[in-house]
Amino acid sequence: MPFASKLPSARGTLGDNAYADLRGLLIAGQLAPGDRVSPRELAARLAISPMPVREAVQRLAAEGALVVRPQSGARVPLMTRPRFVELTTIRVALEGMAAERAARAASAAELVAIRRQHDQLRAAARRVRPDPAMVIRANQRLHFTIYRSAHMPTLLTLIEGLWLRIGPVLNLDLRSSSERLGKLATHEHHARLVDALERRDGRGARRGLVGDIESAAKYILTLDRLPTKEDA
């Protein structure tokens, strides 16, 4: 299980930190559908006992982000094609709204941070041998730097909930081939999105963001790795 990279854990109890750590891995696409989640491995990495990790797993299972079965333990759930299409439709609406809002609400410093994240993503994807985990993290950071710049906390929480479910599937996209990673280096949708934000062009920012989501979704569906039914 690839726990090598994660989002920073929030301050709090051991259980809260374990929850934030594992939640961050899911949102950042560091886990793929079907991956096993080992409380012992995560506990060892965090230097804590397995109990808080088990509590975190149960919390995420209650949110639908993990599936826990007596015989097989905790795993990242598989994503069906209909569910993926549904989540993509919702993402287009909510994340497009966040991008449009960010074009008006982002501060000058936030626009600089967005441009920096975009450049870091391109640099990671342009490496001779790009590291998929690094590119996936850079992609996630770019998106959420934009969404936080909308200054709509409730909307941000809703988007985080979507990525908690969609993040593992985005893993399939960027880990599918080195060619796919290379294309991200010159991703026209990201470039248009960032340019529109800097021009304070809300509609243009929405178009760039929606184009990014829809192009990735189209590619993932061509991989034919998503079952049509839950029990497939």
C-alpha to C-alpha distance for 26 and 167, rounded to whole angstroms = 6
What's the pLDDT tens digit per position in 185-200?
457 899 999 999 999 9
CATH architecture of the domain with residue range 81-222 = Up-down Bundle (1.20)
For residue 157, give Cα distances in angstroms to 36, 55, 164. 26, 21, 11
Domain extent listing, the chain:
14-75, 81-222
- Tens place of pLDDT per residue across the chain (232 aa): 444 434 444 445 878 888 988 898 899 888 888 888 888 887 887 778 889 888 999 999 999 899 998 777 899 999 999 999 999 999 999 999 999 999 999 999 999 999 999 999 999 888 888 888 888 889 999 999 999 999 999 999 999 999 999 988 887 766 665 666 666 545 789 999 999 999 999 999 999 999 999 988 988 898 888 888 775 4
What's the pLDDT tens digit per position in 92-125?
999 999 999 999 999 999 999 999 999 999 998 8
What angle (nearest 5°) sits at the alpha carbon of residue 208, between those of residues 168 and 76? 5
CATH architecture of the domain with residue range 14-75 = Orthogonal Bundle (1.10)
